[in-house]
Amino acid sequence: MFLAKVEGSVVSTKKDASMSGRKLLILRPQLVDEKDPSKFRPGVNTIIAVDSVGAGIGEMVMFCQGSSARLAPGLKEAPVDAVIIGIVDSVDVLGKQIYNAKS
């Protein structure tokens, strides 16, 4: 599992039938900064993921990739490489809270 910020959405009217009705979001992975573990640094890549939990732009989410993504309900036969599996409330690193959704 990985952490990411939701940065946007993707609309595709023509796609594989198994993807019909699925919300697609653009994610930017968030990495704990190795120089200062009290904060995140954004990853350089972006990922398109299927939203299985109702996430929105600006939220921190958990996502998984690869064969694990197809284990999410209803995705076994879908050509999915990334799926959002949770909306993050808080993150603690080395005993210090570095993210809180309410702040």
Structure tokens at 77: 């036969």
64 pLDDT exceeds 90?
yes
Fold of 2-100: OB fold (Dihydrolipoamide Acetyltransferase, E2P) (2.40.50)
Domain ranges of the chain: 2-100
52, 65 Cβ separation under 8 angstroms? no
**What confidence tens digit (pLDDT) does each residue in 71-98 have?**
887 888 889 999 999 999 999 999 999 9
57 pLDDT exceeds 90?
yes
Structure tokens at 64: 């998984």
What is the value of pTM for the model shown? Answer: 0.92
